[in-house]
Amino acid sequence: MKIQPFHLAIPVDNLETCRAFYKEIIGCKEGRSSDHWVDFDFFGHQLVIHYQEKKQLKTEASNPVDGKHVPVPHFGVVLTMEQFNDFSAALIKRKVKFIIEPYTRFKGETGEQSTMFFKDPSGNALEFKAFKNIDQLFAS
């Protein structure tokens, strides 16, 4: 089955700061935009940041995974291991503050993967990962 690009729209409380983050830190190409939203090519998928006033109360939630607190909700992309290593090195060089620094989890188990988590300037959590064996992406 050919995978079609997904579309994801997320709220941001500072359009220009987040626009710069997704372009300069993540490396996304900008597409269409208006005064209230910006489209990005997010690793072949359509990510749209929409301006929304900062909420008074933001609930932080997480789930324990492999001894770490994984932020919920979060979104991201599954990369190849080479892309993951290059991307994580670039993020470290750009001094991105990680929630969970790049590491390998489930070592020696089905689904062994490298992963990392960080937030955009509006607090949206992102995860990027790469599987040792991509055929185990949906393995149980």
Averaged pLDDT in 10-residue chunks for the chain of 140 residues = 90 96 98 96 97 74 89 95 98 97 94 96 96 90
63: helix, strand or coil = strand
CATH number 3.90.1150.10 is the correct assignment for the domain at 7-51: no
Q: In terms of CATH, what superfamily is 62-136?
A: 2,3-Dihydroxybiphenyl 1,2-Dioxygenase, domain 1 (3.10.180.10)
Q: What is the number of other CB atoms lying within 10 angstroms of the CB of residue 21?
A: 20
- pLDDT at position 56: 54
Which pLDDT value is given to residue 75? Answer: 96
Question: What are the backbone angles phi and psi of residue 96, rounded to the nearest 5°?
Answer: -65, 135
Query: Using CA of residue 85, residue 87, residue 89, residue 95, what is the dihedral sign?
Result: negative
Question: In the chain, helix, strand, coil percent, each to 5?
Answer: 20, 45, 35
- What the block records as the tokens of 17 is 């700061």
At 3 the pLDDT is 83
Peptide bond into 102 cis (omega under 30): no
Which structure tokens are listed for 44?
Answer: 């072949």
Write the CA distances from 133 to 3, 9, 103, 112, 120, integer angstroms: 19, 30, 16, 7, 29
The ranges assigned to domains in the chain are 7-51, 62-136
